[in-house]
Structure 1
Amino acid sequence: MVGHSPPPFFKRGPAPLAKLVFFLVLSLALLVSDLNLRYLEAFRKGLSVLSYPLQMAAATPADFVRNASNYFASLVRLQIENKDLKNKQLQGGERLLRLDQLEQENRRLRALLEARERQPVKSVVAEIMYSAKDPFSRKVILDKGTQAGIEAGQAVVDDLGVIGQITRVFPMQSELTLLTDRDQAIPVMIVRNGLRAVLFGAGNGLMELRYLAANADVQAGDKVVTSGLDGVFLAGLPVATVAKVERDQARTFAGIPCLPAAGVEQYGQVLVLGHREALPSRPPEPEVINKGKGRRARAARD
Structure 2
Amino acid sequence: MSLVGHQPPPIFRRGPAPLARLFVFVALCLVLLVADLRFRYLEVLRNALSVVTYPLQMAASTPADVVRNASRYFGTLVDVQLENAELRRHQLGAGERLLRFEQLEQENLHLRELLQMSQRVQTKSIAADILYNAPDPFARKVILDRGTQQGVEAGLAVLDANGVIGQVTRVHPVQSEVTLLTDRNQSIPVSVVRNGVRGVLYGVGRGMLEMRHVLAEVDIQPGDRLVTSGLDGIFVPGLPVATVTRVDRDQDAFARIECEPLAAIERSVQVLVIGRAAYPPPPPPPEPAGGR
TM-score bin, normalised by smaller chain? 0.7 to 0.9
Amino acid of the residue matched to residue 154 of structure 1?
A: L
Cα displacement (A) at 1:173: 1.0
2:255 maps to 1:266: no
Per the alignment, residue 131 of structure 2 pairs with 129
Note the alpha carbon deviations across 1:30-65, whole angstroms, 9 max, x for none.
222211111211221222222222222212211222
2:81 maps to 1:79: yes
Per the alignment, residue 3 of structure 2 pairs with none
Pick aligned residue for 1:219 from 212, 221, 225 = 221
Q: Relative to structure 2, which stretch is displaced further, 63-72 or 167-176?
A: 63-72
Pick aligned residue for 2:154 from 152, 155, 171 = 152
Relative to 1, partners in 2 of residues 1:15 and 1:212: Cα closer, same or farther, differing over 3 Å?
Answer: farther
Query: Where does structure 1 lack aligned partners over 5 or more consecutive residues?
Result: 282-302
SS at match of 1:245: strand
SS at match of 1:186: strand
Note the alpha carbon deviations across 1:235-272, whole angstroms, 9 max, x for none.
11111122x325474x3365543322123222322111
Quote the Cα distance in structure 2 between the aligned partners of 1:215 and 1:154: 33
Per the alignment, residue 31 of structure 2 pairs with 29
Note the alpha carbon deviations across 1:218-251, whole angstroms, 9 max, x for none.
3332211111222211111111122x325474x3
Q: Give matches, 1:144-293, under 5 Å.
A: 144-212=146-214, 216-242=218-244, 244-245=245-246, 247=248, 249=250, 251-252=251-252, 255-278=256-279
Relative to 1, partners in 2 of residues 1:74 and 1:254: Cα closer, same or farther, differing over 3 Å?
Answer: farther
Per the alignment, residue 39 of structure 1 pairs with 41
2:57 maps to 1:55: yes
Quote the Cα distance in structure 2 between the aligned partners of 1:246 and 1:118: 30
Runs of 4+ residues over 6 Å off in structure 1:
none
Q: Give matches, 1:81-100, under 5 Å.
A: 81-100=83-102
Identity across the alignment (%): 57
Cα displacement (A) at 1:156: 1.0
Contact 2:163 2:241 in 1 (8 A): yes
Relative to 1, partners in 2 of residues 1:32 and 1:122: Cα closer, same or farther, differing over 3 Å?
Answer: closer
Quote the Cα distance in structure 2 between the aligned partners of 1:229 and 1:81: 69
Relative to 1, partners in 2 of residues 1:68 and 1:216: Cα closer, same or farther, differing over 3 Å?
Answer: farther
Relative to 1, partners in 2 of residues 1:51 and 1:174: Cα closer, same or farther, differing over 3 Å?
Answer: same
Cα displacement (A) at 1:88: 2.2
Relative to 1, partners in 2 of residues 1:205 and 1:43: Cα closer, same or farther, differing over 3 Å?
Answer: farther
Cα displacement (A) at 1:164: 0.5
Please give the TM-score of this superposition, normalised by the length of structure 2: 0.81
Relative to 1, partners in 2 of residues 1:22 and 1:184: Cα closer, same or farther, differing over 3 Å?
Answer: same
Relative to 1, partners in 2 of residues 1:46 and 1:207: Cα closer, same or farther, differing over 3 Å?
Answer: farther
Quote the Cα distance in structure 1 between the aligned partners of 2:100 and 2:255: 46
Contact 2:182 2:205 in 1 (8 A): yes
Relative to 1, partners in 2 of residues 1:13 and 1:218: Cα closer, same or farther, differing over 3 Å?
Answer: farther
Amino acid of the residue matched to residue 81 of structure 1?
A: E
Q: Relative to structure 2, which stretch is displaced further, 106-115 or 146-155?
A: 106-115
Contact 1:137 1:203 in 2 (8 A): no
Quote the Cα distance in structure 1 between the aligned partners of 2:189 and 2:84: 61
SS at match of 1:192: coil
SS at match of 2:205: coil
Quote the Cα distance in structure 1 between the aligned partners of 2:174 and 2:228: 29
Amino acid of the residue matched to residue 177 of structure 1?
A: T
Relative to 1, partners in 2 of residues 1:29 and 1:54: Cα closer, same or farther, differing over 3 Å?
Answer: same
SS at match of 2:200: strand
Contact 1:245 1:254 in 2 (8 A): no
Cα displacement (A) at 1:152: 1.4
Count of equivalent residues: 275
Pick aligned residue for 1:116 from 108, 115, 118 = 118
